Structure 1
Amino acid sequence: MTSVIFDMDGTLFQTEKILQIALEDTFEHLRSRNKWEAPTPIDTYRDIMGVPLPKVWETLLPNHSIEERKQTDAYFLERLIVNIRDGKGGLYPNAIELLQYLKERNCSIYIASNGLVKYLHAIVDYYKLDQWITETFSIQHIQSLNKSDLVNHIMEKYDFSDGVVVGDRLSDIRAAKDNGLLSIGCNFDFAREDELAQADIIIDDLKEIQTVLPRLNR
């Protein structure tokens, strides 16, 4: 039985569909409180997608207080969840088919994400992913905020040492390598060529994982 650990944003969930809407809402909220004057830094956020949210707000709001960043983070999370529940997001093509395929072959499926618990639960609930996924893990479960540690936590909890990590950013690839797992890099919206080059396998569509499944079982 193969254990497959998926990232969420930019891997299973098309975050791009709700990201700009939520970010624009958030920075408009800051402008209304005279806490921001410049355009919304959407391109900067795209560049750092995949890092924990505290790091995001350190980057996007370097001159704001920690308390202001926390308030902004909470507002942003609220807007993301509203957009998810309004059906404005979406899973990547073939995501459901792949999850069904893996489940039918007795694979154990997990989520390891830098997203927050409420955000991840909103996605899982809306798309009813619990019928395939064993458990969803947020970076909030790990004090270090390190995805390698999060993946290790999953491996220890479910007692396995072989498997694969599927993700689109360097943190996913490193999490696989640091724990002796195979890494599959997703060449999707937020992926970067220099990061993907470090993955064991690179895919352009989730359905390609079905063709490499025999390799995952070695």
Structure 2
Amino acid sequence: MIKSIIFDMDGTLFQTDKILEISLEDTFNHLRSLKEWDKETPIDEYREIMGVPLPKVWEALMPNHSIEVRERTDAYFLKKLIENINIGKGDLYPYVKEIMSYLKENNCTIYIASNGLTEYLTAIVNFYQLDNWVTETFSIQQIESLNKSDLVKIIIEKYAITNGAVVGDRLSDINAAKDNHLIAIGCKFDFAQENELSQADIVIDSLIELKQIVLR
């Protein structure tokens, strides 16, 4: 039986898609009002790189803008995301609370490791009361490398994990599992890409499938 599971947040537990477009549109409308953007909102480009740390997002979406402008954009976007979380515009994926309750009942410890910022993750955890099941939530902000493999390593070392899995939808999650000798479980959800999922040990279409996997 798997004793510990480290979940990704965006595109795995939280349906980021429900607040992504409106928050991004708000952000680029703000940039337009400041005369710092004159094109369409790059929602498709963001979807392609969804899951990477936000500093890298703005570097990709706004390569010709200064670091200062990117940082201001990042702060505004984060504010909009949190506003939308707190008014209930987001949602968890189906069975999140059911599977977490099941895992805890079967003595499986649960952690979250995300490329999201701490304030953003805290908003989700608090709104959906995930602390009822999650031992600790870790943000990419906690490490200088911005590498999820390093973030997962911190969790493993802190909690002495020897038997566990990483559950996520992107290659960074799969690599984080394999780099740390854990099982890589890929989620075939909104932002997942077939070429990345092919590198996972197991691929699931729904979180409820974890019930059977954990007991193997």
List 4+ stretches of structure 1 deviating above 2 A. Answer: none
TM-score (norm 1): 0.98
2:65 equivalent in structure 1? 64
- Name structure 2 gaps, 5 residues minimum: none
Report how many aligned residue pairs link the two structures: 215
Identity %: 68
Structure 2 counterpart SS, 1:184: strand
Structure 1 counterpart SS, 2:5: strand
1:38 equivalent in structure 2? 39
1:88 equivalent in structure 2? 89
CA-based RMSD of the aligned residues comes to: 0.6
> Match of 2:109, as an amino acid?
S
For residue 59 of structure 1, report the CA deviation from its aligned partner: 0.4
Structure 1 counterpart SS, 2:98: helix
- Name structure 1 gaps, 5 residues minimum: none
Q: Output one character per residue of 1:107-142: Cα deviation in whole Å (capped at 9) or x when no partner.
A: 110000000000000000000000100000000011
Structure 1 counterpart SS, 2:92: coil
2:106 equivalent in structure 1? 105
Q: Write the distance in 2 (CA, Å) between the matches of 1:209 and 1:199.
A: 14
Q: Write the distance in 2 (CA, Å) between the matches of 1:159 and 1:202.
A: 26
Q: Output one character per residue of 1:146-171: Cα deviation in whole Å (capped at 9) or x when no partner.
A: 00000000000111122000000000
2:13 equivalent in structure 1? 12
Q: Write the distance in 1 (CA, Å) between the matches of 2:144 and 2:155.
A: 14
1:55 equivalent in structure 2? 56
For residue 85 of structure 1, report the CA deviation from its aligned partner: 0.1
For residue 211 of structure 1, report the CA deviation from its aligned partner: 1.2
> Match of 2:6, as an amino acid?
I
1:152 equivalent in structure 2? 153
For residue 209 of structure 1, report the CA deviation from its aligned partner: 0.6
Q: Write the distance in 2 (CA, Å) between the matches of 1:139 and 1:184.
A: 20
Q: Output one character per residue of 1:11-70: Cα deviation in whole Å (capped at 9) or x when no partner.
A: 000000000000000000000000000000000000000110010000011010001000
Structure 2 counterpart SS, 1:83: helix
